[in-house]
Each structure stands twice: as structure tokens, then as C-alpha cells.
Amino acid sequence: MTIRHFLDLSDAGPAAIAAMLNDAAARKKARAALPKGMVDPDAPLAGRTLAMIFEKNSTRTRVSFDMAMRQLGGTTIVMDAGSMQLGRGETVADTARVLSRMVDAIMIRTDDHAKIVEMARHATVPVINGLTDASHPCQIMADMQTVIERRGSLAGSKWAWLGDGNNVLHSIVEAGALMGFEVVAACPEGYDPDADVIGSAVNQGGKVRIERDPVKAVEGADIVVTDTWISMGQSHAEQKLAAMMPYQVTTGLMARAKPGATFLHCLPAHRGEEVVDAVIDGPQSAIWDEAENRLHAQKSVLLWSFGLL
Ligand code: CP
Ligand code: NVA
């Protein structure tokens, strides 16, 4: 049987993503009254262990995967790469081979996307992308769940991205092409998303474009989404912050989107940089549901990876 790695959304494809989003909503509803540490009654991952490797900081990804495994009846081993032999030169391939003999799945947060591809090539258990410099598919599963909760469906919605053309945007672009929503990326010149990511979405019939004017980008948008201007591993650059300033999500900019448009942010936020307090704490912001949905969406990613969805 082929191993179900979840390195990017395209590894699953539209039908499986739809099934995962349905399952995430159903499981979320079914356990709404249960204490967070209680196992789902069917305990579908009883006896399974997920190893998590962090080469970068994390709050949401770490806690949501850990709680997801607990709620599904499984267990986790959480490791910072710096305290592993990986952090002092053991290869990704050898790490993958060893972990595959001891655990049932691996989640890794790393820098170079090539490392996770290498991990998947040598692992004999599923490998899940917990963020790389190139993409963050688990985040966008939670974002899609949040949008469905607010609007009922994804198809036909317009998402306006403001700011840096980064890993989170790449996964939104990929999701748009797979799930039938439009993505307009408003990025300052020099900070565009990867041309290959845009090209591949367009080739699949995706409705995606880059727009320099932030006001034009948000016009008619159902979803306004942003992220930090300086991602993990990037150096702090005054020049970049200055170029991003016109793309800050303000109440004025939100007012140019569709009435009732939803604001999303994967978090952590840099308040006063990519978004002002009045928007992130305002009535259109869905960020706490979005953060919570990391837990629910990833339970379904795990179930899919284990061949149970
Ligand atoms: N959004 C997200 O991935 O958060 P963490 O960096 O805290 O995991
Ligand atoms: N683009 C951000 C996302 C953090 C969850 C980063 O890579 O740091």
C-alpha cells in the first residue's frame, strides 16, 4: 500500500480534503461537551504513536498535534531538533529510517522543503508537514474549516492575501486551485510568492493573481488574510517592513472588502505591523476559531494519513 504522506495539500487532492473537512466538522461537533483531554469514543488511533520534530519554534502546531493524538486515543513523542542527533549532523534519511522502526507516523517542522521530501522518501510511515519555508498545508486545512463554518462552503469564495508572498500564501494558492476558490495576492514588488506555485495553480485551472494595489485586492473579498512580514528564519529587515506598510490590514481596508468579510491570520501576529488591533480583535476576526480548528482539522489529517479516511 502506498504511504500517505501529507507534505502538501495536493498529496491528498480535492476529494480527500473534502472528506477530511467533513470529518473535522463532525468530530468537533460530536465532542463539544467533552473535556479536552478525554478520548473520542471510537479512539481510532489507539496504540499509535506520532513523533514530532521541531527545527523551528511552535505553539499551535505543537499543542494541536499533541492534543489531536490524545483525543484520537494515540500518543506522541515531541522532540526539538537541537536535542536530537539530527541537530548534530545525523542525516534526515537515517533519522527517517530509525523513527520508522519505532513510531507509526512523523510530523516535522523544518526550514528547507527538500528536507521533508527527503524524510518522506526514506520513511516507511506517513510524514506530515508541520510547516516548511515553502508551505504550511495543515494551517490551511484549519483555515478552510473556519471559512466553511462562517460561510457554509469554499467554492466561489474570494480570498485576498495582504503582505509577504510566503509559505502560508503558497498553501492558500494551492488550496484555491484544488477546492475552487479565488485567491488575489497583494504583495509589494520583490516579495511575490514563488512563481512555480502560482504557475502550477494556474495550470490546474486555479483562479489566482498578484495585485499590487491592496484596495483593489480586497474589493469583493469574502476572506481577508495576512501573516507576519518576517517569517521564522528570515532576518529582520527595515526595508522589507517599509515595503509592507501599505499592505497592513486596517479597518479602512476591511471596509473595502465585502460587508461581513472574515479576517484570518495563522498567528502568531505582530500587532501594529501586518494587522491593527481593531481588526484582529474586531467582530470580523475569526482567529480564535481558526487557531482551535488546527486541532480538529489535524485530527482528520492524521486519520487520512493512517488510511482511516
Ligand atoms: N500557525 C502556526 O503554525 O502556529 P505555531 O507557529 O505556533 O505552530
Ligand atoms: N509565515 C510564518 C508562519 C508561522 C506559523 C513563518 O513561517 O514564520
pLDDT at res. 236: 79
Q: How far is CA 260 from the centre of its chain?
A: 23
- How far is Cα 13 from Cα 9, in angstroms, rounded to an integer? 6
Cβ(244)–Cβ(281) under 8 Å? no
CB atoms within 10 A of CB 138: 27
- Which residue of the set 27, 71, 104, 139 is catalytic? 139
Report, as an integer, the average pLDDT of 245-253: 98
CA distance 105 to 125: 5
State the pTM of this model: 0.98
Handedness of CA 266, 120, 113, 81 (dihedral sign): positive
Residue type, position 249, single letter: V
Q: What distance in angstroms lies between residue 222's CA and the mean position of ligand 2's atoms?
A: 23
pLDDT digits (tens, 9 = 90+) for 163-200: 999 999 999 999 999 999 999 999 999 999 999 999 99
C-alpha distances in Å from residue 119, one per residue of 76, 105, 251: 18, 11, 43
Cell 523551528 sits at which residue?
56
187 has catalytic annotation:
no
Q: Atom 3 in ligand 1: which residue has the minimum CA distance?
A: 61
Alpha carbons 2 and 307: distance in angstroms, whole number? 10
Active site residue 85: no
Per the structure block, which three cell numbers stand in for 34?
467533552
Q: What is the pLDDT of residue 35?
A: 98
pLDDT tens digit sequence for 20-69: 999 999 999 999 999 999 999 999 999 999 999 999 999 999 999 999 99
Q: Over the stretch 110-157, which tens digit does the pLDDT of each residue have?
A: 999 999 999 999 999 999 999 999 999 999 999 999 999 999 999 999
Q: What are the grid coordinates assigned to 48, written together? A: 499509535
The CA 1 to ligand 1 mean position distance, Å, reads 32
Q: Centre a 10 Å sphere on the Cβ of residue 88 and count the other Cβ atoms it contains.
A: 9
Q: Give the per-residue pLDDT at 63.
A: 98
**Which of 227, 248, 256, 298 does the annotation list as catalytic?**
227
Question: Of ligand 1's atoms, which has the minimum distance to the CA of residue 64?
Answer: 8
Give the C-alpha separation, 124 to 2, whole Å. Answer: 10
Atom of ligand 2 nearest to the CA of 131: 7
Query: Ligand 1: distance of its center to the CA of 181 in Å?
Result: 24
CA-to-CA distance for 127 and 116, rounded, in angstroms?
A: 8
Once rounded to an integer, what is the mean pLDDT over residues 228-236?
94
- 109 given a catalytic annotation: yes
Beta bridge partners of 53: 79, 108
Q: How remote is the C-alpha of 241 from its chain's centroid?
A: 23
pLDDT digits (tens, 9 = 90+) for 16-30: 999 999 999 999 999
Q: Is 167 in the pocket of ligand 2 (CB under 6 A)?
A: yes
Known catalytic membership, residue 227? yes
Report the first-to-last Cα separation within the chain, whole angstroms: 15
Q: Which atom of ligand 1 is nearest to the CA of 61?
A: 8
208 lines ligand 1 (CB under 6 A): no
* Beta carbon of 305 within 6 Å of any ligand 1 atom: no
Is the pLDDT at 291 greater than 90? The verdict is yes
Residue 101 predicted with pLDDT over 80: yes
